[in-house]
A = this chain, B = another copy of it.
Amino acid sequence: MTKQHSHQHGHDADHVHDHNHNHCIDTALATAETLCLEQGQRLTKVRRRALELIWESHRPLGAYQLLAKLAEEGFNSAPPTVYRALDFLLAAGLIHKVESMNAYLGCAHADRAHKGYFLICDECHNVMEFDYQDIHAALIAKAAKQGFELRAETIELTGLCADCKAQATDAHAVGTSA
């Protein structure tokens, strides 16, 4: 299990970070540049900035949220701009799409091929990416047994994260109304 961002555990958007998130962003961007260079891909201004903005968000970011941020900075504000950037970043494995949220998330492990498996909190909407080789292998085997050739996996688990569960318990114990 890998927490996507180690700071992604707050319960409200204004939660104070307990580490320098700039480090995460810098690392992700450096990886992105290396990968694009290796693969002869061009990490253009808008693609690079889109990736940064996705990383700067503490939650999966919707396409139009991202588009608005890009527009604020002088980039073209029409939808194809953002979808092209997202398509590029997805194809490069630099971000994942969370299907059940229609939102996009930076991947901290873009340098190694993998499927994105996610734990999504219903309460705080934080998302953790996790890695589970056992499940991946089991799914491939299961599919193969049906003659099905697996190409992609959408594994999105929702529920209550540890922090939100603790908070709910606390509130109950104290007898908080509502």
Contacts and interface: CB of A to CB of B under 8 A. Distances in A.
A148 to B, nearest CB: 5
A87 interface: no
Contacts of A158: 150-154
Interface in A147-165: 147-162, 165
Interface residues of A, number: 35
How many copies the complex holds: the figure is 2
Contact of A147 (B99, B122, B132, B162): B162
A143 interface: yes
A98 to B, nearest CB: 9
A138 B147 contact: no
Given A154-B100, A155-B155, A161 B148 contact: yes
A145 B1 contact: yes
B148 A159 contact: yes
12 contacts: A1-B142, A1-B146, A132-B142, A135-B139, A146-B162, A147-B161, A147-B166, A148-B160, A150-B159, A152-B159, A154-B156, A154-B158
Contacts of A135: 135, 138-139, 142
B151 A159 contact: yes
Nearest to A122: B151
A108 to B, nearest CB: 16
B152 A157 contact: yes
Nearest to A1: B146
What 7 pairs between A and B have smallest CB-CB spacing? A147-B162, A151-B159, A154-B156, A149-B160, A99-B99, A150-B159, A99-B100
